[in-house]
Amino acid sequence: MTDLSASNVKFTSRLLEAYGLLIELTDEQNEVTVYRIVSEFQIDTGTYAVLQKDNGIPEDEVEILKIIDAADGKPELVTIDDDDEWEDVAELYDELTLPFED
């Protein structure tokens, strides 16, 4: 695990600016799901998006995806294939959103 820290996070809005608050993603079975952008941030390992299904259930789990630049220059979402990277980013997101405990 790397030493990611909330103090190194830079919040971004590339997805929001390019696509708006809601994003439609298509899975391997060609099923479309609408997600709401919860957060976008950049750290040393890349830029990430936190998405949540836009179904009105605030307790639904979030999805964390990596933002890369497509050939046309627009932001594109990809799955984080590296388990360590995914865990580091998920823990960092938890640190950013969970109340601080002494």
pLDDT confidence bin for 100, thresholds 50/70/90: low
Q: How far apart are CA 16 and CA 37, in angstroms?
A: 7
Q: How far apart are CA 18 and CA 10, in angstroms?
A: 18
Q: How far apart are CA 98 and CA 82, in angstroms?
A: 24
pLDDT digits (tens, 9 = 90+) for 6-57: 778 999 999 999 999 999 999 889 999 999 999 999 998 899 999 999 987 7
Query: Running DSSP on this structure, what letter comes out for residue 89?
Result: H
- Alpha-helical segments (H) within 1-102: 14-19, 83-97
Residue 34 near residue 48 (C-beta atoms within 8 A): no
